[in-house]
Amino acid sequence: MPEAFERWARPRRLLWQPPRPHGEQPLERAVSPLELLYDLVVVVLVGEAAHHLSAHLSWRGLAEFAAMFTLIWIVWLNGSLYHDLYGREDARGRTALLVQILAMVPLGAFIPQASGSGGFAFSVSAAVLFAVLALVWLSAERGTSAEYRRSSQVFVGGTIACAALLAATALLPADTRLAVWLLLDLLYLAGLSVMIGTAPPGLTITPALIERSGLFTIIVLGETVLGVVDGLARESADALTIAVGLVAVMIGFGVWWTYFDFVGRRPPRPTRAATVHWIVAHLPLTAAVTAMGAAMPGLVEHAHDGRTSPPSRGCCVPPQSSRSPPRWPCRRALRHGAPTVRCIAPRLRRGGSPLPGTCRRPTGSTASRPCPRGPARRSLGRRRHPPDGERHGRRVAAASPTPSLA
């Protein structure tokens, strides 16, 4: 019996080794295919967040994107740092990343509805994922020497507290939940920065971590190309639309050029402050690149618009050469086989117009009236002055009672 146990103990030690001791990570190693798979799964979640922003291009949509993207980026940073510090290429290391991937999949599924009906499920999924991260870090903390155990315990405790708070946000209203998400993101980043800047013996930015950060930036830049292709696929492929899409791709290429000439493949200075700055600065960089890709479909869609103007109480303004009535459907509804108009009607908002092409009376009445024409509306181009006969007809029409659209 002891011989049989010893026979199986050797392969078990080879396949299920304890995490690497703290401070003994190899400085020169290649990024493994397992890490590339992990990054690919994270980028799928980033793509879902970008699609959510593309469908909700507003200040609230931007806040929702910032909250979700920061949570995703924190998860990616945790997984990357753990594998760089403690991970091995054995069954235990692969299982640790697999468990994180399995926890990320439900989180990505609930991103599209995270701001509404899916907020409860997103909060619970994020709490489960952070709990998994805490368990992974706890398994590495058990083999840490007493010199580093204090800082490891503080970090694990902070991750557990973040998971508990994320679970608690599932019971909050949507607006409060979003504010708490943003606050948790800021607190976690502040705590992580303090830990990296003060905990002994300090974090070393290895070439493998630099390479993974560069690869993550490249994959996120793919959202720009994806957004351009998505916009061109939904619009008529004329010369101007294609030219706008190609210019957008060139802008993304310029971001790649700038990053790898000044940031990528260059280690930071060997100081704690430089290390913290190098790590945290990748968050707004990758978030901005992703948001840029999310805006590309709208940029291609409005390639033929001369210029933009602030919306005028939700009125839809027809082209200058048109003499049709001012109540036009929105441009999205007229995309296929219908005349093109400039619709500056915003989404339905609190206090906004209840119907596209109508304006709400300022007197508190719930009735709606057609959008005003002439000097009362703000035109996107030059103001067109109608002939005297048409002006007289408008004055007569204005004197008649206006039917209610309520």
| Per-residue pLDDT, 314 | 37
Angle 197-203-209 from CA coordinates, rounded to 5°: 125
Sorted by sequence, the CB contacts under 8 Å of residue 296 that are 6+ apart come out as 224, 227, 228, 230, 231, 245, 248
Asked if residue 345 lies in contact with residue 334, where contact means CB atoms within 8 angstroms, the answer is: no
What residues pair up with 360 in beta bridges, in sequence order? Answer: 368
Residue 40's pLDDT is what? 92
> By the 8 A CB rule, do 340 and 302 touch?
no
Which residue(s) pair with 370 in the sheet?
A: 358
The full set of domain ranges for the chain reads 25-301, 312-360
For each of the chain's 406 residues, which pLDDT tens digit applies? 456 656 666 666 666 777 777 767 777 888 889 999 999 999 999 999 999 998 888 899 999 999 999 999 999 999 999 988 888 888 888 899 999 999 999 999 999 999 888 999 999 999 999 999 999 998 887 766 777 778 888 889 999 999 999 999 999 999 999 999 999 999 999 999 998 888 776 688 889 999 999 999 999 999 899 989 988 888 777 899 999 999 999 999 999 999 999 888 888 988 889 999 999 999 999 999 999 999 888 888 888 887 644 433 333 333 343 333 433 344 444 444 444 433 433 443 444 444 444 444 444 444 444 444 444 444 434 444 445 544 444 444 444 554 444 3
Q: What is the predicted pLDDT for the residue at 181?
A: 96
- Nearest-angstrom CA–CA distance, 54 and 51: 5
Please answer whether residues 286 and 220 qualify as being in contact, where contact means their C-beta atoms are separated by less than 8 angstroms: yes
C-beta of residue 231 within 8 angstroms of C-beta of residue 335:
no
Q: pTM value? A: 0.72
How many other C-beta atoms lie within 10 A of the C-beta of residue 224? Answer: 25
d(CA 293, CA 242): 16
Cα–Cα distance, 249 to 48 (Å, whole number):
20
- Do 330 and 314 touch, CB atoms closer than 8 A? no
Phi/psi class of residue 314: alpha, beta or left (left: φ > 0; alpha: ψ in -120 to 50)? left
* Cα 251 off chain centre by: 19
pLDDT at 345: 39
Residue 116 CA, chain-centre distance (Å), reads 16
Please name which of 52, 72, 42 lies closest in space to residue 293, comparing C-alpha atoms. Answer: 52
pLDDT of residue 380: 39
What pLDDT does 280 receive? 94
Give dist(CA 15, CA 195) in Å, integer: 32
Neighbouring C-beta atoms of residue 246, cutoff 10 Å: 12
Gyration radius from the chain CA atoms: 28
Q: Measure the CA–CA gap between 210 and 127, rounded to whole angstroms.
A: 28
